[in-house]
Structure 1
């Protein structure tokens, strides 16, 4: 089965924060131990990018670039611009390439935002999490509600017309009314995109070691349901488990992830997924993971030793791997995407598609498959079917 290769994106991980939040399980490191090693880390990123270009000959331009962290807004516009220039020279940026940078409202200023915009960043993602000052303190954030509003205004002044706000619900002792008030505050600012997600206790975090009192599952479900109604009434459409957007403003980079597309990952702990055509016209797919600790990454960037692991995704594993991503999207997937992104045919999934459809979890037609409302509500049950699709 001859297939095309999926779209290609670039993820750049900048792992430092002013301080580590108690709920965060991302690869991030507080700056209390010393100054930000911006020059050394930028050079490592560029060396990593050059090696990746030699190791991965794609022939595909980048449809999106995402600077994540950590707190990327701790880095200067010069660093961001240098990476973007190198990426453009290496692979080329698509004409309408979406370039996102995550920013912490506590590190926001007009000069930085204007510099990022001039460097080529087209989309800003502000980690607001809440507008409630007491909640922000419990979450270990370095900003307050006023700083969040100020950061949004500064982003607009810098020329950003595509802004995402990250907002959490089911916060410690939060009521349904308080969650709605928080969301209404976010909507009132008029962002193009909202990531509205449930606070969960992740292993190896301060919150996991000393759990705060959180709302029960039923209350959290009520918050999500009420939030969905508020977002829909305000003109936002839900397109993924926790993502809401104005028309035409869905996050392209995240859609690369959720559609099982390809992405290069550079930076400490960055993940990547690479596809290549095999000799028989099929598809080989590999995941790559870089060393997590910045010191190890800094010493290894520029060669194959930067990889902590690399693993082929076998044809047997692909149905679940693909579904685990694609079925987060409300639109599901079409058959061409299944072939191009996973090297699978509709016939390969005939059994699981029939079972999921019979149980009312999946809608299947000649164009593709998409989760029903029941399937979205019981996504884990739906995904379990794809573990043994034969």
Structure 2
């Protein structure tokens, strides 16, 4: 079996509070009540980072992403303090992409300059729609005027690498309304647009009480095709299922996810994925033991409440570890920096890696290279050859040398293509 090679490393930082939880949101977000403990939370983030550092000694961070919740609730000085502490512990690549998710309803005059001075060089605005009726139905705290004003404030502050999140197939939305949303976005000339369909996720208000007027599948598909054409005409090239960018402005952080890269997950409810390659044929369980400073995978998992057979981590080619943190902010703050803050550890067995890799890589318009698949999963090309041949025969994938990419038909049936690798 080939050995794993460490892929690029990113840092994800979860800031869990928001003003009001949206009825479609299934992220780990909590409505802030009273003053928020910004200083205590940043202290916890630093302790959390210190605890996970042995997993990534000597590696370079290629991107940082502050997600939430509503990260723009945090003052610039809190973001600055965390980035200063993180860069003292980790090597950041020159020009490292550092993104802050931003709610237009929390933007304040003058703050964007301070975020930029703190090290933020990319903003992702949760616009969702420029139609005030749609925004009310989505439970957003901003209106279209505030959305446009916030984007212009960021541009005036010297931030030009901006993403706008837009949804389609919204309650009572027509094709003309979806088109107007894009036209207003184009007028702001962002570098990147994320354009995705509203979905009713489990354990959300919308899942329990679906809103009326959601377009059916045919109308949703019509919106998708029409909007994709508008985005292309406006100079936004699609590179992933819901991501469109001007030349040179693809999101480096999300690309690392889709290429099955590694990421440290810091913060309440944050998830991470770390590759620990074998060294001179040392069993991966011992590598995990050395990095995690514990007696071994089984004991570590038992301490976090998730016991797994340690044989699951005895892959001679290395180990891929998924780790997540406790979700509740108060408990996370109390336990950060100790094993008690770990919600769970899950070594990804070789049997699961092909599916996990394809779940990400087949979202990309450019697909993937077989060499990258081998390096990042520790599997051989022959392990997936039957599935690839089936996908090519059905017209879902096309092969160009070492690269395989979804066809137009394959992009329409992404779930079916991915299911081949289960």
TM interval, shorter chain, is over 0.9
How many residues align structurally?
A: 385
Are 2:4 and 2:377, in contact at CA under 8 Å, matched by a contact in 1? Answer: no
Are 2:3 and 2:278, in contact at CA under 8 Å, matched by a contact in 1? Answer: no
Matching residue of 2:290: none
1:287-345 alpha-carbon deviations (Å, 9 max, x no partner): 00111111111111011221111101111111101000111111111122112222222
Taking the aligned partners of 2:139 and 2:384, their CA distance within structure 1 comes to 45
Structure 1 position 336 matched with structure 2 position 371: yes
Task: Give 1:3 shift.
Answer: 4.3
Listed as ranges, the gaps of 5+ residues in structure 1 are none
Q: Where has structure 1 moved over 4 Å in runs of 4 or more?
A: none
Are 1:110 and 1:155, in contact at CA under 8 Å, matched by a contact in 2? Answer: no
- The secondary structure found in structure 2 opposite 1:318 is helix
Matching residue of 1:17: 18
1:332-359 alpha-carbon deviations (Å, 9 max, x no partner): 1112211222222222211111111111
Taking the aligned partners of 2:323 and 2:23, their CA distance within structure 1 comes to 28
Are 1:283 and 1:342, in contact at CA under 8 Å, matched by a contact in 2? Answer: no
Structure 1 position 282 matched with structure 2 position 282: no
Q: How does 1:298-377 map to 2 (within 5 A)?
A: 298-377=333-412
- The secondary structure found in structure 2 opposite 1:117 is helix
TM-score by length of 2: 0.89
Are 1:291 and 1:308, in contact at CA under 8 Å, matched by a contact in 2? Answer: yes
Matching residue of 1:61: 60
Structure 1 position 36 matched with structure 2 position 36: yes
| CA pair 58-353 structure 1, distance change in 2 beyond 3 A | farther
Matching residue of 1:184: 183
Are 2:370 and 2:403, in contact at CA under 8 Å, matched by a contact in 1? Answer: yes
Matching residue of 1:110: 109
TM-score by length of 1: 0.97
- The root-mean-square deviation of aligned C-alpha atoms, in Å, is 1.1
Matching residue of 2:233: 233
Taking the aligned partners of 2:322 and 2:56, their CA distance within structure 1 comes to 16
Taking the aligned partners of 1:5 and 1:257, their CA distance within structure 2 comes to 14
Structure 1 position 121 matched with structure 2 position 156: no
Moved more, 276-285 or 85-94: 276-285
- The secondary structure found in structure 1 opposite 2:110 is helix
Moved more, 78-87 or 115-124: 78-87
